[in-house]
Amino acid sequence: MPRRRACSPTHLDGPQIAALRRALLAWYRRHARDLPWRRTRDPYRIWLAEILAQQTRVETAIPYYERFLAALPTLADLAAAPLERVLGLWAGCGYYARARNLHRAAQTIMSAHGGRLPTTAADWAALPGVGRYTAGAIASIAFGERAAVVDGNVKRVLARLLGIHEPIDAPATVARLWTVAARLVPPQAPGDFNQAMMELGARVCTPRRPACDACPLAPLCRARAAGVQADLPRRRARATVPEVHAVAAAITRRGTVLLCQRPAHGLLGSLWTLPGTHVGPGALNPRAETSAAPHDGPQLLRSHLHAHFGLNIMTSAALGTVRHDFSHRRLRLHVYAAEVRGPVRARSDGNPLRCVWVPAAELDALPCATVDRRAFKLFVARHRKPGGRH
């Protein structure tokens, strides 16, 4: 007789898969959080929730979800809204490319598909900003398609469940996880199953101190059986994140501050910011502490803003430094108070640039990145001090 092949590290047999599905769905139906997007099968609302939940904690996403839908309750409303309004509703949630892509995809659906939302994962994945995970989530939850999802929570659950020691962010491992996830999704209630996998990772199979005693999959978990659940999953070594510096000017005139709108494309596109520039290597005093303003910051600002923005400014006090960590760099933004001399010519390297004078009281209403909003607070705090300018 031929010898029976041993199970590979990413293999579960039929009875194990059946047991896993039963246990996980029963647990989910008892313990699932009551989230607003779980009370609907409206694909527009599920789509919005999935985009918001990317790189955002659920607790943080809920008020944005509710505020967004109150303002733009339908796909047609979203497509017809100006981008600046969409960004304003998104302000503070970060990763603004998500909002721009959401808006662009809505316009595509209205113009190219007659306002009919896709029903399959393949069609969803053809839209701007909709990747494989988001497409599978929407198609399975809203339309019952047997489509898999693999996000950070699912990766962690599967790595421990199957005892995968290879880095889960390696391309070969990611491909294996998608294959396994697709096999596990049941033909009935695929949306509930996918949400259950994500819920398990978020609440039980957590990155630190997984609650194995409360896990419905504990009898099947190879990491728990080997006592290595705290060591998994593993990731590749991360490259050192560079620290970069920038300078910005809070330019005031009769109770208003000059703001410029970033270009539509690129990081933080279309958001409002104080005029300024990044600082090249060696441009700052290397002995200056990062929390202190660089000694040559005012001159850098004057030169840059005159050359690229057509502004003649006079800087005064250093208002402070804003520290903000992006995924690919650590930014130290040094903010200076300044006044403009002469007219403001709205240009940047010969291209039109939208610059406006905004009353200080209206800064909070503009769509701005978190780093810029914190820079505004430095300016506002300065002007509220006794003896400050108003």
- The residues of the chain that CATH labels 3.90.79.10 are 243-384
Asked if residues 350 and 251 have their Cβ atoms less than 8 Å apart, the reply is: no
From the candidate CATH numbers 3.20.20.140, 1.10.340.30, 2.60.40.10, 1.10.3210.10, the one assigned to the domain spanning 14-231: 1.10.340.30
State what percent of residues in the chain have pLDDT above 70.
88
What integer pLDDT is reported at residue 312 of this predicted model?
Answer: 85
For position 294, what pLDDT does the model report?
57
| Higher-confidence position of 359 and 153 | 153
Residue positions counted in the chain: 390
pLDDT, average across residues 73-96: 93
- pLDDT over 70 (residue 169): yes
Residues spanned by CATH 1.10.340.30 within the chain? 14-231
pLDDT (tens digit per residue) in 23-46 = 999 999 999 999 999 999 999 999
Nearest to 143 by CA among 41, 21, 28: 41
Handedness of CA 90, 94, 98, 100 (dihedral sign): positive
What local confidence, expressed as pLDDT, does residue 380 receive?
78
Active site residue: 50, 145, 289, 362, which one? 50
Q: Which fold has domain 243-384?
A: Nucleoside Triphosphate Pyrophosphohydrolase (3.90.79)
pLDDT, tens digit (0-9, with 9 covering 90-100), for 213-271: 999 999 999 999 999 999 999 999 887 888 889 999 999 888 888 898 888 777 787 88
Dihedral sign computed on CA atoms, order 264, 269, 274, 278? negative
Instruction: Judge whether 50 counts as a catalytic residue.
Output: yes
Report residue 345's pLDDT band, with 50, 70 and 90 as the boundaries: low
| DSSP output for 161-210 | HHT--S-TTSHHHHHHHHHHHHHHS-SSSHHHHHHHHHHHHHHTS-SSS-
pLDDT of residue 353: 58
Token look-up 């903000």 returns 324
Q: What whole-number distance in Å separates Cα of residue 233 and Cα of residue 10?
A: 14
Is 339's pLDDT higher than 80?
A: yes
Cα 140 to chain centroid distance, Å, stands at 22
